[in-house]
Chains A and B, each alone.
Chain A
């Protein structure tokens, strides 16, 4: 049986060899390779020169360490930050998004009783982004009915906790499928051009 050729070893192993990270059997193969191949030896020396095993290099590259006073300030900063009560912004967002969705569903359900429909969510380009967003509602459309006590401290009384529209998804995250009219013609077909300014995507009942 032919033993494996040492010069078939990948050169990346020279890094691990220089750092002493190879298992003994593989390290022995690399050592034989280095003994037989001057080019591999040159590359191996380059790797060893920039390895933490090069004590002279590590002495030369020692970084200027902070003073005790600077360490104390850093430690005090950490303690101070960790002592602050954390604000769970995502919790507020989840609660608000849940309320908005619940509001949409309630509106759909109520409106269905009246068989009257109006566009609620539109695909609109936003000013800050080139991507179209599926806007679910504007802040004025949302009324907060209840909120977890921990999140309530973040709000001014009666204010919605954001200034932007509630965005359900980016346009490219959606798959547009045709929606035809129902038997009474109350559902117009959904346009397949999501960039149209007034392209209705979701329809909800209008208030009575």
Chain B
């Protein structure tokens, strides 16, 4: 029986990629619908901005598909996509910091926040989320990325290791020390 291409498709990622290469436009939709939430959560946690996170998801998805040859199915499509999306998010974050530094150095005013960045939108989140987002920005980049891929990307240690091309032991170590630092930064705000 032919499977349905859509959010409920039973086709695996590899089968969808093969259909995408064969020109089936619906296969790309199915891949997007399957992975967009996790990709967005990762990008959002790395950037703390809704619009930037969406841009990172779009940019990451495009790059993941354009450079699918580098993926070569050595890991799952999900780990490949998360690697590219988190890269894109970190690039967006670096570019934003550079812009802010340049404007600050020039003594100029920062541009008005684009839609999705306004303070009232940020305040919609919980206080704990805002504090965690702030604390995450103080972690070394690779610890932050590892933490976010595991927590928000829903990835196992093995999947994070494959996405970042590091060992499972390194994933474990980064998570342990990231959480120790976060716990110290968040004081007693983390519920157990």
Contact, CB under 8 Å: B150 / A19: yes
Contact, CB under 8 Å: A70 / B54: yes
Chain A residues touching B, range: 35 or more
Counted as pairs of residues, one from A and one from B, with CB atoms less than 8 Å apart, the total is 106
Q: Does A114 contact B (CB under 8 A)?
A: no
Q: Does B45 contact A (CB under 8 A)?
A: yes
Tell me the minimal C-beta distance from A80 to chain B in angstroms.
9
Q: Does A61 contact B (CB under 8 A)?
A: yes
Residues from chain B with Cβ under 8 Å of A90 in the complex = none
Q: Does A54 contact B (CB under 8 A)?
A: yes
Known: A49-B183, A57-B191. A11 touches B128 (CB 8 A): no
Contact, CB under 8 Å: B29 / A75: yes
Residues from chain B with Cβ under 8 Å of A48 in the complex = 192
Q: Does B28 contact A (CB under 8 A)?
A: yes
Which residue, of B50, B65, B175, has the highest number of chain A Cβ atoms within 10 A?
B175
Contact, CB under 8 Å: A64 / B151: no
Mask: chain A, 26-57; 1 = CB below 8 Å from B; 0 = not: 00000000000000000101111111101011
Q: Does A149 contact B (CB under 8 A)?
A: no
Cβ 8 A contact of A60, one of B29, B58, B66, B191: B191
Interface residues of chain A, those whose CB is within 8 Å of chain B, are 11-16, 19, 21, 43, 45-52, 54, 56-58, 60-66, 70-71, 73-75, 77-79, 81-82, 86
**What are the 8 tightest A-B residue pairs by CB atom distance, in nearest-first order?**
A15-B176, A81-B62, A12-B176, A50-B179, A49-B192, A49-B190, A15-B175, A63-B44
